[in-house]
Structure 1
Amino acid sequence: MPSRSSARLAALTVAAVCSAASSVVLTSPAHADTVRIHDIQGTTRISPYAGQKVTDVPGIVTGTRTYGSSRGFWIQDATPDDNPATSEGVFVFTSSTPKVAVGDSVTVTGTVSEYVPGGASTGNQSLTEITKPAITALSTGNAVPAPTVIDAKSVPDEYTPEGDTAAGGSVNGLALAPSTYALDYYESLEGMNVQVADARVVTATDPYTELWVTVKPHEHRNRRGGTVYGSYDAQNTGRLQIQTLGSTADFPTANVGDTLEGPTTGPLDFNQYGGYTLVASELGTLKSGGLERETTRKQSGRELAVATYNVENLDPSDATFEEHASAIVNNLQSPDIVSLEEIQDNNGATDDGTVAADVTVNKLIDAIVAAGGPKYDWRSIDPVNDRDGGEPGGNIRQVFLFNPEQVSFTDRAGGDSTTAVGVTKVHGKAALTVSPGRIDPANTAWTTSRKPLVGEFVFRGKAVFVIANHFASKGGDQGLTAQYQPPVRSSETQRHAQATAEHAFVEDLLKVQKNADVIALGDLNDFEFSDTTRILEGDGELWSAIKSLPKSERYTYDYQGNSQVLDQILISPAIRRDCGFEYDSVHINSEFNDQVSDHDPQVLRFRP
């Protein structure tokens, strides 16, 4: 996810949206007399008055923002027009604490500007504002315009029109169709007083005092109360971010499946981290949905249990070792092999050249023993300092934990951070040239990204090849509410190259031994329906086992109201067809406000 620094860009005046490469053009302010808010908002995302000075725009103050760098207030016209495409609300950017109060009747003179949260490079839509305002208070204590109710009936099922190809795919110049497209509907309410009622929480309260609800109770709902994201073409239109205009101390601490009962009311804003956001002056009452963390079943003596778990930048200074250990022992039932992602070096983010992670790993192993689990052994390869991405100085890497009472590790010397693992034949069976080893570490696909870690294990006399992954993140992708539709997923390029390189290795292994048991698992940072997964699967050499679950159960991560897949376990045909298997996405983190990692672990059980 992008950094949450809230540096406010200088207000920009906009004359025209040109292209993806040049989204704004600055102009000298002109002058426009006696306009209303709906005139300013217009019927497209860009105000027809952008860059112009407007005089004595009337409105009732519906909310004030007195914190952060986006200080100002919202006003709404008490005499709306009859055009559903034109919003009756607008944000007035004051830069300092506003001196107005909710219910004040004011007129505002200032310059109409289009502010792009996060900057034009994000591809975000812009927020229409009045900047450099001169404010005249007319009266106080007026009734605030009644909120527009956002509900399942009012929000269209179709998400957005495709952008104008002549404008680089931007929707900014398209006439709003609020009865047809959800994003157009929300845009037609930008800056207005809105309300949701009895809304179910679909992303838990985060450290930034925000959560997500849905106004569509049945939209791709799963049994735990979330909203599943299962296709690029079927967006969940009922999702809406909730923040607060009041004290953050009073903000509800919610989990997925909880409900904000009663009305939640406030201005509809647009921000960098989620798009359309109800900034609540009135919050509903939190009703618990009773969500509990899941526990998988224990593997039988003939089953091999293999898990993947992203422990989110774990280093020796963290206070989460006991919680991670409890999750592995109690919720995952002590799998025989655990692939850990985001294990940091021995001094975490201190960037002093340290790359060893034995202190981090052994501290976790000791915590597992203390929690009643097995004394795991482990294998990994230290990365080249600062070459694998992640938090600077942290040197995150994948690590294999394995229970030596259940499974053995086949060590073959020579594996290091720069040596490529290969495949050879020993006694007619596939074997690794080095174990543990790294797949093609010099390939540019792995630039500033984690290299796959491969290990050769033996369970009940049979070799099992496990590839631990942490593919490149989605950082830099445009958001679902971007002005460019469909949004550009620029980060896919590197993951596609990574999947190609890894698939070539798996092909080599299966050419030597067609019936080899091969598992590729970890944080792939992409969906089960993505091209990344398709490339890694190839022509059946691997298959993502999470697809064995019902569609409503396919998720490992929760982001902006979407329960989605980032972590996967892919299996070779021998495991899929001959051995039988069972897959479990164990939901212990992603749906909870007190998560110790933002990922849910995955477990595969099968009989080699």
Structure 2
Amino acid sequence: MTPHRRRTTLSALAGTTLLVALAPAAAAAPSPDAVIAEVYGGGGNAGATLTTDFIELSSPSAVSLDGWSVQYLPASPSPTSRWQVTKLSGSIPAGKRYLVAQAKGGGGTVALPTPDATGTTNMSGTGGTVALVTNDQPLTCLTAADCAAVPVIRDLVGFGAAVVREGTAAPAASNTTSVARKADTDDNSADFTAGEPTPENSKGERPGGGEPGPAPEKARIHQIQGTTRLSPLVGKQVIDVPGVVTAVRAFGSSRGFWIQDAQPDTDPRTSEGLFVFTGTTTPNVKLGDAVLVAGKVAEFYPLASGETVATTANQSITQLTGAQWTVQSGGNAVPAAELLKPDTVPVSIAPSPGGNIEALALEPAKYALDFYESREGMRLRVDDARVVGATDDFNALWVTSKPGQNLTVRGGSNYQSYADANTGRIKIESLIPFAERPFPVANVGDRLTGTTEGPLDYSRFGGYVLQASALGEHVAGPVAPESTRKQREHELATATYNVENLSTKDTQAKFDRLAGAVVRNLASPDIVALEEIQDDNGSTNDSVVSAGETLRRFTDAIAAAGGPRYEWRQINPVDDADGGQPGGNIRVAFLFNPKRVSFVDRPGGDAVTPVTVQREHGRAKLSASPGRISPTDPAWQASRKPLVGEFRFPAQGPLQRSVFVIANHFNSKGGDQPLHGRIQPPVRSSETQRVAQAKLVRGFVDSLIKAERNANVVVLGDLNDFVFSPAVQTLVGPKALAAPMDRLPSGERYSYVYEGNSQTLDHILVGSRLLKRADLDVVHINAEFHDQASDHDPQVVRFLPRTGVDWLDDLEEFLHGLIP
């Protein structure tokens, strides 16, 4: 930076969903003085639309230009070159532009709007140097170093091949492009971009008789934020917005700083905090700076791939773009952070009008999302917070301000109904450089002791997020991976485990870790239903659909870990027909221990042939084993098809019982609207397909029970839905299936943690006549931990299969203590 200048940031348009304003790097010092905003030298040249060259100035506050000048020097000056001077008068209005017309060419068709000053300099269309000077005497410096030492130069831009410049030169212009400022770091190449010329005079007039833009308004933060989710001033230019800098985001593509009004109003609906967006350039402000900010009010919607502002369900962030600011003083006390106590955030998540809630007046005492919206950008604080969502790969975690809310036995927050979203949850990210303070690597049940505080932000990944400028100390909790008991001789142990896109492309370490869990944590179940087994070359998208190599590596790893030599059964899908990762040909598969259980192999099962239930000698049997349930039904489009297998337990002997196991992986929740979104209640669009899938599985179970009243039926897998969901409730019924999980304490009913909610996506259901014979254990080894082999916890059910002879079944239940 040249030490004699104090400078201010200007804006530029970048991105498709909002106006982006980039701010100076740390070396630049903001001031109310004018800067060069745009330079165009192609006016009237071949191909040009505009007839005239121009220089445009800008300032966040009114600046008198009486006695000042703009001056031009060729890109490669000779010792005899002279600066060409255009004298200025009048002033730049606050937040406006000042247009200086230069030489007019013979081409072009569009005149400039009425200029504020006029010169005769014929500037180059591709390169040169323009200086803003606080007097009207011609400069004499001809090198960058010499010009940097001239105190009357207020701003300078060299573009194209310019020798005199700040840092490196800005891009070259052309007959159809100008160079316009996007930042102010005293490096022209970083501060300017080439683009379509956009001349505008101090009245806001544009070429072709464009109407003047609206006059900027003075505003305070609460006036900008308003009493709904959308600013009443959106799209308007505001000036002299006062605030104290409370935090700075100095990394990433969404840099900027938060300000908070030290003199709040009395309306609880209006936030007193605001984000000032500076794009990819770090703003030169410090914590405690008192600033006056000018900029354009915008609502920024964080969008997922393929979304638009019209289609997204995410809420917006009110912010200032195109920002310029003046630091009035430094070292001021920042407003105190509001402490989130157990009773601070309402229990109800949001109003439920059945649509968009953006226009509704906020009710922060009634709804959690309204509470947070009324504090958007303001400093919040949690003390001694318990972690309810482990640190993810993006350096974020979840804590709760309501430690007693739906507490799990291991310290999480249990998601028990659509009406209770656990509103104590809040996401934590950090504004502290990781070199200075590494982000805590935390598991569910750990704590951040002391104070965690910072401004409230919003992200499509989880909604409201506290951007911590102070992080509590991480204290590890007592939670450790669980292990279940070994099944007894008379018990059949059947497990489900989503192994998260397991393929031959995975490391041996992943295979070994998953295998070790089967042996040590699950105690080597007799049958394991696996979800997310990929084909033999993983995500390579070709015609390969077999998964024998993937399953061989997995069973080899289990044997190496001391487990049984499992066999497997599965059906190869039609290529690219079952959803999941493109090319992966995801499917479900059975592993079974042949020393404990035998598999009944019946030919005929393939990717498209439906399995049916047959009755033989008063007992049910499958038409094909393994087989698929209604694989061509539209309910399974782009989704995994259920795999049905007929087993016998024990593996040998006169008391073998048939057991029918249905392994599932229902369609995902992709496309469902978020809990934190602007549509309330959120639309769960994926639920329709899962209900249809559940109906097909339920119908198959009904046919088994119709064929054999005491049939041993197990339906298990990743159903991608909750215990209380319509899909799962479609499966259960007094004469069909029962959920052993319902007999667990509520604080143990979960297998997955998402956005700080401990929830159940994986299920094991048994025939209702087996319920009292069944012992379910959800084995928590993954979901609560930062270091995961899979994002799902496995679970296992141990039960005594029925013989089908009532008096013998009663005797067995008595002998094994299942009935008095």
Q: Tell whether the structures are fold-level matches, with TM greater than 0.5.
A: yes
The Cα shift of 1:12 comes to: 6.9
The Cα shift of 1:247 comes to: 2.7
Q: 1:31 to 1:309 in 2, by over 3 A?
A: farther
Could you tell me the TM-score, scaled by structure 1's length? 0.93
Distance in 2 between residues matched to 1:31 and 1:545, nearest whole Å = 67
Distance in 1 between residues matched to 2:609 and 2:348, nearest whole Å = 50
Q: 1:307 touches 1:604 (CA, 8 Å); kept in 2?
A: yes
What pairs up with 1:318-357 in 2 under 5 angstroms? 318-319=506-507, 320-357=510-547
* Counterpart residue number, 1:568: 763
Q: Do residues 592 (structure 1) and 777 (structure 2) align?
A: no
* Counterpart residue number, 2:374: 188
Higher relative contact order (CA 8 A, sep 6+): 1
SS in 1 for 2:728: helix
Q: 1:122 touches 1:476 (CA, 8 Å); kept in 2?
A: no
* Counterpart residue number, 2:225: 41
What pairs up with 1:192-591 in 2 under 5 angstroms? 192-248=378-434, 250-319=438-507, 320-460=510-650, 461-538=656-733, 540-577=735-772, 580-591=773-784
SS in 2 for 1:63: strand
Q: 1:299 touches 1:605 (CA, 8 Å); kept in 2?
A: yes
Judge which range, 79-88 or 258-267, deviates more: 79-88
SS in 2 for 1:122: coil
Residue 252 of structure 2 is aligned with which of 65, 68, 72? Answer: 68
SS in 2 for 1:94: strand
* Counterpart residue number, 1:23: none
Q: 2:348 touches 2:419 (CA, 8 Å); kept in 1?
A: no
SS in 1 for 2:731: helix
Residue 133 of structure 1 is aligned with which of 320, 323, 343? Answer: 323
The Cα shift of 1:106 comes to: 1.6
The one-letter amino acid of 1:219's match is Q
1:322-357: CA deviation from partner (whole Å, max 9, x where unpaired): 110110000000000000000111111111211111
Distance in 2 between residues matched to 1:367 and 1:433, nearest whole Å = 33
* Counterpart residue number, 1:105: 290
The one-letter amino acid of 1:75's match is I
Q: 1:243 to 1:275 in 2, by over 3 A?
A: same
Q: 2:701 touches 2:736 (CA, 8 Å); kept in 1?
A: yes
The one-letter amino acid of 2:454's match is G
Distance in 1 between residues matched to 2:597 and 2:470, nearest whole Å = 56
1:242-299: CA deviation from partner (whole Å, max 9, x where unpaired): 0011234600000000000000111100110000000111100001112111111100
Q: 2:17 touches 2:301 (CA, 8 Å); kept in 1?
A: no
1:113-143: CA deviation from partner (whole Å, max 9, x where unpaired): 1111114323111111111112222222222
Distance in 1 between residues matched to 2:284 and 2:719, nearest whole Å = 49
Distance in 2 between residues matched to 1:157 and 1:172, nearest whole Å = 20
Distance in 2 between residues matched to 1:394 and 1:79, nearest whole Å = 57
What pairs up with 1:160-199 in 2 under 5 angstroms? 160-163=350-353, 165=354, 169-199=355-385
Distance in 2 between residues matched to 1:8 and 1:496, nearest whole Å = 40
Residue 147 of structure 1 is aligned with which of 337, 340, 350? Answer: 337
The one-letter amino acid of 1:262's match is G
* Counterpart residue number, 1:24: none
Q: 2:380 touches 2:455 (CA, 8 Å); kept in 1?
A: yes
The one-letter amino acid of 1:296's match is T
Q: 1:29 touches 1:51 (CA, 8 Å); kept in 2?
A: no
The Cα shift of 1:75 comes to: 1.0
Judge which range, 505-514 or 451-460, deviates more: 505-514
Q: 1:31 to 1:441 in 2, by over 3 A?
A: farther
SS in 1 for 2:343: coil
1:554-590: CA deviation from partner (whole Å, max 9, x where unpaired): 000001110000000111123125xx11011110000
The one-letter amino acid of 1:178's match is P
SS in 1 for 2:279: coil
Q: 1:61 touches 1:144 (CA, 8 Å); kept in 2?
A: yes
The Cα shift of 1:32 comes to: 4.8
**Structure exhibiting the larger radius of gyration computed from Cα positions:** 2
The Cα shift of 1:522 comes to: 0.2
SS in 2 for 1:213: strand
Distance in 2 between residues matched to 1:371 and 1:424, nearest whole Å = 40
Q: Do residues 603 (structure 1) and 796 (structure 2) align?
A: yes
Distance in 2 between residues matched to 1:258 and 1:30, nearest whole Å = 53
Q: 1:464 to 1:215 in 2, by over 3 A?
A: same
Distance in 2 between residues matched to 1:30 and 1:314, nearest whole Å = 59
SS in 2 for 1:576: helix
Q: 1:30 to 1:490 in 2, by over 3 A?
A: farther
Q: 1:306 touches 1:337 (CA, 8 Å); kept in 2?
A: yes
The Cα shift of 1:321 comes to: 0.7
* Counterpart residue number, 1:25: none
The Cα shift of 1:539 comes to: 5.5
Q: 1:9 to 1:296 in 2, by over 3 A?
A: farther
The Cα shift of 1:31 comes to: 4.3
Residue 17 of structure 2 is aligned with which of 6, 10, 24? Answer: 10
* Counterpart residue number, 1:89: 273
Distance in 1 between residues matched to 2:547 and 2:15, nearest whole Å = 39
Could you tell me the TM-score, scaled by structure 2's length? 0.70
1:467-516: CA deviation from partner (whole Å, max 9, x where unpaired): 00000001111111111111111110110111111111111111111110
Q: Do residues 51 (structure 1) and 51 (structure 2) align?
A: no
Distance in 1 between residues matched to 2:248 and 2:758, nearest whole Å = 32
Q: 1:515 touches 1:573 (CA, 8 Å); kept in 2?
A: no
Distance in 1 between residues matched to 2:691 and 2:434, nearest whole Å = 41
Distance in 2 between residues matched to 1:348 and 1:480, nearest whole Å = 33
Q: 2:252 touches 2:280 (CA, 8 Å); kept in 1?
A: no
Q: 2:751 touches 2:761 (CA, 8 Å); kept in 1?
A: yes
Distance in 1 between residues matched to 2:777 and 2:316, nearest whole Å = 41
Q: 1:9 to 1:321 in 2, by over 3 A?
A: farther
SS in 2 for 1:424: strand
1:119-177: CA deviation from partner (whole Å, max 9, x where unpaired): 432311111111111222222222222111122132122222223x5xxx222111111
Distance in 2 between residues matched to 1:29 and 1:310, nearest whole Å = 58
SS in 1 for 2:448: strand
Identity level (%) = 55
Task: Work out the number of aligned pairs and report it.
Answer: 582
Distance in 2 between residues matched to 1:49 and 1:487, nearest whole Å = 28
Cα RMSD of the aligned pairs, angstroms, is 1.6
Q: 1:242 touches 1:277 (CA, 8 Å); kept in 2?
A: yes
